[in-house]
Amino acid sequence: MRRLAWVGLLLAGAAWGGGIAVSPPRFDIELTGPSAAASLKVVNLGDAPLRLTVSVANFTLDEENRLQLAPPSPQSADQWLVVTPLEFSLEPGKSQTVRFAVRPRVPPEPGEHRAMLFLEEQPPENRPFATLNLAKVGVGVYVNVPPVVRQAVVHCVDVRLVGGQLAGMLDIESTGNAHVRPQAFYVVWPRDRFPGKVGTRAIQDLPGSAVKVPEGASIAGVVPDIPVLPGTRRTLRFPLGLVPPGEYVVELWGKVEGEGLAWALPVTVPEPRR
């Protein structure tokens, strides 16, 4: 059984799966000429040598925002990537640079073209059947051909209780030719402490820093920047956290491309049933 770390679509910084760290975990490449080039760094965080292979595939996201491999096409970026090396070994604590070039085989259409670049751990050569706990890390590659239009419609915002904890929901439609991502924050307030000014609470979202909970609030955080692919409408669900029974207001603000968010949603957390 292989562990798949599908993080390249979601995160900034570094991706990791098992004993592998990859940086950056996602590429947004603007293709303005006949070709482009990029590279990623792979680090062995474990205490044993690793043997890795590299492959590429086309992908989409299903109705539950889960990664789904898709057949290649002349306009999918997996057909355009030339990667080197395709296989390498990595000693503990060492790193390897993997380079790739973007070379379209056909005239590229405007908009977004996607590929998933997989780094897959191989069984040790002296244990060819040891396939348990082998890591597989996916790194999203988005090739953008101008003119790129990112445009979103937010159809619904909601907060509800799911499995005993608060959860948020954004119903987003991507109407352009490239994916969109929410850039938003949330604060959970006890109702009697809610200041009543939607969108005015300042949360610092600096690289590597934690989101600060405003005085009087219970929870604060960042809405996951899950992509909504062009031509799709998806419901993004994300946990807000556990709070004691009581009356609350969930403040959510930010934007999805040009569409602004500024909501204060009441929610009740009931006493547990006995």
**What pLDDT digit, counting tens, does each position of 185-214 carry?**
999 999 999 988 766 655 555 445 567 888
pLDDT confidence of residue 11: 38
The pLDDT mean for the chain works out to 89
Is the pLDDT score of 157 beyond 80? yes
For position 246, which CATH number holds? Answer: 2.60.40.10
Q: Are 230 and 246 members of one domain?
A: yes
- Is the same domain home to 33 and 114? yes
d(CA 82, CA 86): 10
Instruction: Say yes or no: 197 and 131 in one domain.
Output: no
In this structure, are 16 and 121 located in the same domain?
yes
Whether the per-residue pLDDT at 107 is higher than 90: the answer is yes
pLDDT at 12 over 90: no
Structural domain that includes position 192: 152-269
Q: Are 221 and 185 in contact (CB under 8 A)?
A: yes
Contacting residues for 158 by C-beta, under 8 A, at least 6 apart? 168, 169, 171, 265
Asked if 168 contacts 154 with a C-beta cutoff of 8 angstroms, the reply is: no
Given a cut of 60, is residue 130 above it in pLDDT?
no
Cβ neighbour number for residue 216 with a 10 Å cutoff: 12
Task: HSE, CB side, 13 Å, CA atoms: give it for residue 44.
Answer: 18
Mean pLDDT to the nearest integer, 114-142: 84
Q: Does pLDDT of 215 surpass 50?
A: yes
Q: Is residue 274 part of a domain?
A: no
Mean pLDDT of 57-86: 97
Q: What is d(CA 65, CA 157) in angstroms, rounded to the nearest whole number?
A: 17
What mean pLDDT is predicted for residues 97-107?
A: 97
Q: What is the pLDDT of residue 8?
A: 44
End position of a domain, from candidates 145, 173, 206: 145
For residue 61, is pLDDT > 90? yes
**Of 102, 124, 145, the domain-final residue:** 145
Instruction: Tell which of 145, 168, 196 closes a domain.
Output: 145
pLDDT score for 184: 92
**Residue 253: pLDDT above 60?**
yes
State how many domains the chain has.
2
| CA distance from start to end of the chain | 40
Kindly state the average pLDDT of the residues 125-146: 81
Q: Do residue 134 and residue 19 come from a single domain?
A: yes
Tokens of 49: 């040598």
Decide if 37 is inside a domain. yes
Residue 256 contacts residue 182 (beta carbons within 8 Å)? yes
How confident is the model at residue 3, as a pLDDT? 40
In contact, 187 and 220? CB cutoff 8 Å = yes
Q: Average pLDDT, stretch 7-30?
A: 71
